Amino acid sequence: MGLIRLQSSSLPAGSVLQVVNVSNDTAFSTSNNGEDVFSASITPSSTSNKLFISCSVLWHSSSNGGYLALTDGSNNVIEQPSANGSRSRFHWGSKYGSNDFMVYNSSRETVQLLHSPNTTSPFTVKLRAYNAGVTTVYVNRNQNNGDRVYDPAGISYLTLMEIAG
């Protein structure tokens, strides 16, 4: 039986047209405000198509005020919540708790969203770390990063799926 090749334009709305998946197991930390952790790029085949974005990350912060967000290639937060007073507008954060608790606490959290990039040019999605105070953000590790059971090592994932519009 021969290979049958379908044009993406012939697939019904909601069909997955392509998938890009990246993983990162590098222990990362930063005290800078707005630093790239890792990224993935996808080139949509039509401006009417959408991107389903899923990011799962093991992360920690040394104190309150550490945040993570998914941004586009120009560092604009994707699908940012509405402004509400002085509240932060990110996808992950802040980790509250006493310093003793925070030293050990890392958690795996996943954000999923549907975005309309309205382009057929390469579209980059970045996981970025932000610091709203004097804190350090850690990815794939906790504050101690020691060689013991209390100090987890993690793998973070970023998946981009083009969905027919």
The region that residue 34 occupies, defined by phi over 0 for left and psi between -120 and 50 for alpha, beta otherwise, is: left
Q: Is the residue at 4 inside a domain?
A: no
Q: Are 162 and 17 in contact (CB under 8 A)?
A: yes
Q: How many domains does the chain have?
A: 1
Q: Is the residue at 1 inside a domain?
A: no
Q: Is the residue at 86 inside a domain?
A: no
Supply the pLDDT for residue 80.
81
CB-count exposure of residue 60 (10 Å: 0-12, 13-18, 19+) = buried
3-state class (DSSP) for residue 103 = helix
Those residues whose C-beta lies under 8 Å from the C-beta of residue 64, and which sit 6 or more positions away, are 94, 95, 96, 133, 135
Supply the pLDDT for residue 31.
92
For the stretch 95-140, pLDDT in tens is 654 454 445 556 778 899 999 999 999 999 999 999 877 888 999 9
Q: Residue 64 — φ and ψ, nearest 5°?
A: -60, 150
Q: What is the share, in percent, of the chain residues with pLDDT greater than 90?
A: 53
For tokens 């990224």, the residue is 39
User: Which amino acid appears at position 13 of this protein?
Assistant: A
Q: How confident is the model at residue 49 (pLDDT cuts 50, 70, 90)?
A: very high
Which domain range does residue 153 map to? 13-78+91-163
Supply the pTM of this predicted model.
0.86
Supply the pLDDT for residue 101.
46
The encoded tokens of residue 151 equal: 């100090």
CATH number, domain at 158? 2.60.120.1340
Q: Is the residue at 7 inside a domain?
A: no
Q: Are 163 and 45 in contact (CB under 8 A)?
A: no
Q: Is the residue at 8 inside a domain?
A: no
Rounded-to-integer distance, Cα 125 and Cα 5, Å: 29
Q: How confident is the model at residue 61 (pLDDT cuts 50, 70, 90)?
A: confident
The encoded tokens of residue 29 equal: 């930390």
3-state class (DSSP) for residue 99 = helix
